[in-house]
Each structure stands twice: as C-alpha cells, then as structure tokens.
Amino acid sequence: MSVPIVRTLAELRSTVAGWRREGLKVGVVPTMGALHEGHLSLVRAALEQADRVVVTLFVNPKQFNNPADLAAYPRTEKEDAEKLSPVGAHMLYVPDAEEIYPEGFSTTVSVSGVSEGLCGAHRPGHFDGVATIVAKLFLQTGADMAFFGEKDFQQLHVVKRMARDLDIPITIVPCPTVREADGLALSSRNVRLSSQDRAIAPKLAQALFAAAEKLRDGRLAKPVLDEAVKALEDAGFREVEYLELRAEDNLQPIDRLDRPARLLAAVFLREVRLIDNVPAQPS
Ligand SMILES: Nc1ncnc2c1ncn2[C@@H]1O[C@H](COP(=O)(O)OP(=O)(O)OP(=O)(O)O)[C@@H](O)[C@H]1O
Ligand SMILES: CC(C)(CO)[C@@H](O)C(=O)[O-]
Ligand code: BAL
C-alpha cells in the first residue's frame, strides 16, 4: 500500500487526533527527503516502538547557511514515497512552505551551549534553523517519540536540549549511523560525489575509527588528531573543517579519552561537505 501524503497542518492534526482517540502512540521521523537506508532505519526503529509513524519531508531553507547547498539539495518526493511504502510508515507529511513559515513568521528557537563549535562554528545560523523547524514539527505532529540519526550527532544534542528546555513532551530516540560496506556514512549528499571522490570518501570513517582506537590508552588527543588531519589531507580531502574529541554526554571539548566520548569531523571533497562521527571508549 502506498504511504498517504499529507500537505496541510489541519489534515495532519485531525489524523493524529484520530489515532490518539484510539490510544495509539505516535512516532515522528523528521527528514529533508532524498531518502536512503539511513532514513529507513529510523523509520523501522520508529515502527518497533510506536503504533503510528509520521515521516516528515521539508527542505528547510532556514538551516542552510549556503544558498548553493540549498539549491543543490536533492528533491525526490515521488521516489521517497515509493521507498517508504513497503517499510510501512503511516504518513508522509510534506508541508507546504506556508504551513511552516506563514507570512510574518518571526520566531527563532536558539539553543546555546551544545550548538556552539563543530558544525555550529562553521554553519552560522544552521542550528537555529534546525531547532526552530524541529520544535515546529514536534508541536505540529504532537508525537510521543522522535527518531534521529547519530550521524548528525551535534544535531541530536541540540534537539534533546531544545525539547527539554521547552517542556515538549516527547522522547528523543537516537539511532546508530548506517554505513556503506566500505564504512562511508550514508548521506543524501553522497550522490553529489564524483566517482573519484567517492573512492576517497570512506577514508574519513576509517581515519576516525583508527584515531578512536589510538586514543584508548588515554594519551593527549592533540597529536593523534593532528596526525589524522594530515592523513585526510594527504588522502585528497580538500579541507578538514574540524576533527575534534568531545564528551559523549554534553559535547564539551576534552583533551584525552578519559570518559565515553565522540570523535567528530567535517570535511570537504571538492564542494561536497561530509560529516561523520564515531564513539570512542577509554580502555
Ligand atoms: N547514515 C545514516 N544513519 C542513520 N541516520 C541517518 C543517516 N543519515 C541521515 N540520518 C538521519 O536522518 C535524519 C534526516 O537527515 P537528513 O534528511 O538530513 O539526511 P542526510 O542524509 O543526513 O542528509 P545530509 O547528509 O545531506 O544532511 C536525521 O536524523 C539524520 O541524522
Ligand atoms: C532534522 C531535520 C529534518 C530538520 O530539518 C534536518 O536537520 C535533518 O534532516 O537532519
Ligand atoms: N543532516 C542535517 C541537515 C543539514 O545538513 O542541513
């Protein structure tokens, strides 16, 4: 059966209200479309924990700091609906722009702390855009649970903080990063890689896993990370925007692996920006 597509807030609300009257638990999976196995893994996790699953598809202009990136973002609604149907999602919510940003829209949700540094330092305004749209999607859907990928690890922290601070009654469920066989994290932006760059791309995950292993003995992180950056540059990455070790629970910078942590990186292959992160555990 094909997934029903809903474009208005009124229809979304009346459908969810019907589910609630039946006592059903609702899960939401926010996306910007161009769906791949990473997104489908979130939908499958949602179907295991919720009775009804709404996938949202909205390419949110407010979170794009780079107009060229927004213009190039893949838009594949028909294919997305075809991919979702066999998985069993109950609704694809594709809001018209005016359902999200009506004339006169003037509110921004801004999360300090966890949104600073890393992607926050390099994509000005990005996490304000994410927090604002995600707050709206939580309130519009009234979902009990929301599913986010660990691939966007800083985003996950921003969303958790935002929901807690605004008392939005929703449980945020983190889901592991899905990777290609060679280790490359699935991403909608991967389709923009040339075949040459696609061959280089998995070296990012490989470098992160290798550095996480080297840090296990608790020595200072800086030389290990500097070496990893150099290896990435030598492998053909045009720029390593950041490669940092941060505490798992609050994303604070740490200088050695003395608690559960994440190694997070953003790199460029030509004009395509890729992010990835891996867990790092002290021995
Ligand atoms: N490889 C992946 N594994 C698990 N979850 C993922 C993966 N890629 C994306 N997600 C999650 O899917 C949700 C929607 O992400 P989004 O639509 O931005 O996809 P994306 O592939 O990350 O796109 P892009 O990389 O271009 O930003 C987010 O919660 C994101 O973390
Ligand atoms: C959470 C999200 C759908 C908000 O637009 C987006 O940032 C994404 O796709 O990760
Ligand atoms: N996956 C986060 C969405 C973005 O890059 O804008």
Place of tokens 């720029």: 239
Domain architecture of the chain: domains with CATH: 5-175 (3.40.50.620), 190-280 (3.30.1300.10)
155 Cα nearest atom in ligand 1: 31
The number of angstroms, rounded, from the C-alpha of 185 to the middle of its chain's C-alpha atoms is: 11
- Per-residue HEC secondary structure of 157-218 comes to HHHHHHHHHCCCCCEEEEECCCECCCCCECCHHHHHCCHHHHHHCHHHHHHHHHHHHHHHHC
Q: Evaluate: CB of 152 within 6 angstroms of ligand 2.
A: yes
The answer to whether residues 215 and 221 touch, using CB atoms and an 8 Å cutoff, is yes
- Enclosing H/E stretch for 150: none
Rounded to the nearest integer, the mean pLDDT of the chain is 97
- Over the stretch 193-217, which tens digit does the pLDDT of each residue have? 999 999 999 999 999 999 999 999 8
Ligand 2 pocket test, candidate residues 39, 54, 60, 156, most atoms within 8 A of CB: 60
ipTM computed for the complex: 0.96
Q: Evaluate: CB of 136 within 6 angstroms of ligand 1.
A: no
% of the chain with per-residue pLDDT over 90: 95
> Once rounded to an integer, what is the mean pLDDT over residues 34-53?
98
Residue 49, Cβ density class (10 Å: 0-12 exposed, 13-18 middle, ≥19 buried): middle
Closest listed ligand to the CA of 158: 2
> In the chain, what is the straight-line distance between the N-terminal and C-terminal CA atoms, in Å?
49
State the CB neighbour count (10 A cutoff) for residue 185.
24
Q: What is the pLDDT of residue 65?
A: 87
- Over the stretch 73-117, which tens digit does the pLDDT of each residue have? 889 999 999 999 999 999 999 999 999 999 999 999 999 999 999
* Strand duo 261-269 + 272-280: pairing: antiparallel
Please tell me whether 162 is known to bind a ligand.
no
Whole-model pTM: value is 0.97
Residue 187: pLDDT band (50, 70, 90) is very high
- Helix 126-141 to helix 153-165 angle (10° resolution) is 60
